[in-house]
Amino acid sequence: MNQPKNKSQEKVGEIMELISLKTFKAVVDEAGIKGASDKLNTVQSNISSRIQRLEQELGVRLFQLKGRKLELTANGKLLYPYACQILQLEKQAKDAIRIHEGQYELVIGTPETFAAIHLPRALKGLRREHSHIQPRIYTATSGQLISAVKNNTVDCAFVGGHIINDDFVSIPAVVEKMVKITASDGHYDPVLFVRGEGCGYRQAALAWQREMGNTEQQLMEMSSVDGVLGCVAAGLGYTIMGWDMVRNNRYEDSLAVEALTDHHANLQISLIYKNDCLLETGIQALASFFAP
């Protein structure tokens, strides 16, 4: 004879709702309620109420406030890897069904610069030769994209450098020739212009600056490549980035480029994905358009 469920058993069933776990994981991954609301495309009050409901169902606190920052409690830290595993299984189940149906979306992460210069030809080829794959583009910096692959926000991503991680497969895609860019008249201020945190060009520029012994120079951050090149063309400073970013840019005639040497000469752009990704065949198809 079936016994009636007690309250604790009911709670265990309730907490397996995917929306609760997705919300919890988003708050952790996006470092707060605001970031989670942006990621899940809902208002902050919904995020707060879902977390409160999950805490009530579990009977424990998952977050604590330190200053203005939310931090995981011991119970929150315990729940997080289980939430990741459950949501990963959910994604794999959806992917398996879509593959079986013969048509699926492939969410591709890319820096905006890579999307503008290198990606269009590959996307055109993918749509022509693999029409069952529907590419969707997600743009962010290389640093953010590594996290996006890890957190299943994207299926694969193009990032600067060769990523060494046991959880990822990394395929070389493009080798960019790195150059120092200055105003064409040779007069410029000793200011290094870079993109924001997580940008592959920024990391390469700072590494070059350190080895040249120029770390005392002022650093100026800009949100776009066009903004960086415009300031450099005006003589406000210099930058380090890929030669492909300069070609056909509207400031090209006002810029001078000098190729970097030794280990600074090239920047490897790699396509990464998780090694348990069921969409590997589609990702490999995308990678084939970058093969030398």
Distance, CA of 119 to CA of 256 (rounded, Å): 26
What the block records as the tokens of 34 is 């605001």
pTM of the model: 0.76
Integer Cα distance of 38 and 20 in angstroms: 16
- Between CA 61 and CA 77 the distance in angstroms is 11
Dihedral angle, C-alpha 67, 70, 74, 75, nearest 10 °: 140
Residue 118: how many other CB atoms lie within 10 Å:
20
Architecture of 103-175+268-288 per CATH? 3-Layer(aba) Sandwich (3.40)
Give the CATH number of domain 177-264; options: 3.40.50.300, 3.30.2350.10, 3.40.190.10, 3.30.1360.120.
3.40.190.10
Mean pLDDT by 10 residues, the chain (292 residues): 45 63 89 87 90 90 87 93 87 83 88 92 94 93 90 90 82 94 94 91 92 91 92 96 91 95 93 89 94 70
- Domain ranges (residues) in the chain: 7-94, 103-175+268-288, 177-264
φ, ψ for residue 222, nearest 5 deg: -125, 155
Q: Do 177-264 and 7-94 fall under one CATH topology?
A: no
* Chain center to CA of 274: 13
Quick: pLDDT tens for 248-260: 899 999 999 999 9
Look at residue 292 in the predicted model and tell me its pLDDT.
66
Give every CB contact of residue 89 below 8 A, 6+ residues apart in sequence: none
Give me the phi and psi of 4, to 5 degrees please: -65, 145
CB 162 within 8 A of CB 172: yes
Answer for the pair 71, 63: CB distance below 8 angstroms, yes or no. yes
Give the architecture-level CATH label for domain 7-94: Orthogonal Bundle (1.10)
What's the pLDDT score for residue 95? 81
Instruction: State both tokens at 224.
Output: 């776009």
State residue 167's pLDDT score.
Answer: 86
Count H helices, E strands: the chain?
A: 11, 11
